[in-house]
Amino acid sequence: MGTVISQVTTVDVELRINATTRQLALDPRTTLLDALREHLDLTGTKKGCDHGQCGACTVHVNGRRVLSCLTLAVAAQGKDITTIEGVADGDQLHPMQQAFLDHDGFQCGYCTSGQIMSALALLREPCGASDDEVRECMSGNLCRCGAYSNIIAAIQDVRATHAHEA
């Protein structure tokens, strides 16, 4: 028994992304990820599975990391959303971005936005100090290129030098 939808219905959605308010008319089934990528041209947030398995779509909602592929856009209204495009301060890279660059914490770059968003959230989470604890906290972000060792080095570098900012 399929549900027949008589017409494409849209709902008005207002999203606050990187401190800018955006108005959209969306199919209510639209995920936050597709809203960003297909409707707002914010393609820095990546789709690696669409099923909450890879972490490529990680964004911050009210300061916490969230998988945007598992979040409906309508449900993200009234919240502060931060994507990778909102991390740098103008031309000035965030120290985490710079650390990824310096430690070569990526290859193809496709998992990178998600890794960086997770890494930034981790700075505010009760993650222990050791490499192994960081590995555990980052294990929702897959990297098929295998940049893992360098990603951990980048994160630990930032934690060591910018601990006070966390």
Partner 1 sequence: MTSPNEPRTTGAVGAPINRVDGRLKVTGAARYSAEIPVDDLAYGVIVQSTIARGTIDRIDAGEAEQLPGVIAVMTPRNAPKLESLQKFEREGSKGSRPTGRALSLLQNDSVHYNGQPIALVIAESIEVAMHAASLVRTTYRVDQPTIDMATALPSAYPSTEKIYGREPPATQRGDLQAGLAAADVRLDVVYTTPMETHNPMEMHATIAAWDGDKLTLWDATQNVHGVRGTIAKTLSIPPEQVRVISHFIGGAFGGKGSAWSHVVLAALAAREVRRPVKLVLTRRQMFGPVGGRPHTVQHVTLGAARDGTLTALRHDSTSSTSTIEEWVEAATLATRILYDCPNEETSHRLVRLNVGTPTFMRAPGEASGMFALESALDELSYELRMDPIALRLKNYAEADPESGKPWSSKSLRQCYALGAERFGWARRTAEPRSMRDGDQLVGLGMATATYPVRRMPASADACIYPDGRAVIKAGSHDLGTGTYTILTQLAADALGIPLGCIRVELGDTDLPQNPISAGSMTVASTGSAVHLAAMAAREKLIQLAVTDPRSPLHVAQHGAVEIAGGRLTLHGDVDRGESIEELLARNGGQPIEGRADAKPGDETQVYSMHAFGSIFAELRVDPDLGTVRVGRLVGAYAAGRILNPKTARSQLMGGITFGMGMALMEHTITDLRSGRYVNADIAEYHIPVHADVPGIEVFFVDEHDEHVDPIGAKGLGEIGMTGVAAAIANAVFHATGVRVRDLPITLDKLL
Instruction: Return d(Cα 69, Cα 72) in angstroms, integer.
Output: 8
Among 45, 68, 71, 82, binds partner 1 (CB under 8 A): 45
Residues from 79 through 138 that contact partner 1 (CB under 8 A): 83-85, 87-88, 93, 97-98, 100-102, 104, 106-113, 116, 132, 134-136, 138
The answer to whether the CB of 82 falls within 8 A of the CB of 60 is yes
Other Cβ atoms less than 10 A from the Cβ of 82: the count is 20
Is residue 69 a contact residue for ligand FES (CB under 6 A)?
yes
Q: How far is CA 162 from CA 120, 137, 166, in A?
A: 11, 19, 7
Q: Which of 103, 98, 133, 137 is nearest to 118 (CA)?
A: 137
Secondary structure E strands in the chain:
11-17, 20-26, 58-61, 64-67, 80-82
Handedness of CA 117, 119, 120, 122 (dihedral sign): positive
CB of 159 to partner 1, least distance (A): 15
Is residue 107 a contact residue for ligand FES (CB under 6 A)?
yes
CB of 155 to partner 1, least distance (A): 10
Is residue 96 a contact residue for ligand FES (CB under 6 A)?
no
Residue 124 partner contact from ligand FES, partner 1, none using kind-dependent CB cut-offs of 5 to 8 Å: none
* Strand, coil or helix: 14: strand
Q: How far is CA 39 from CA 8, 20, 112, in A?
A: 16, 15, 21
Instruction: Return d(Cα 34, Cα 139) in angstroms, integer.
Output: 24
CB of 21 to partner 1, least distance (A): 20
Residue 67 partner contact from ligand FES, partner 1, none using kind-dependent CB cut-offs of 5 to 8 Å: ligand FES
Among 13, 32, 56, 158, binds partner 1 (CB under 8 A): 56
Give the interface with partner 1 as residue ranges (CB under 8 A): 2, 4-8, 27, 29-30, 34, 37-38, 41-51, 53-54, 56, 83-85, 87-88, 93, 97-98, 100-102, 104, 106-113, 116, 132, 134-136, 138-152
Q: Which residues bind ligand FES (CB under 6 A)?
A: 47-50, 52-57, 67, 69, 106-112, 143-145, 147
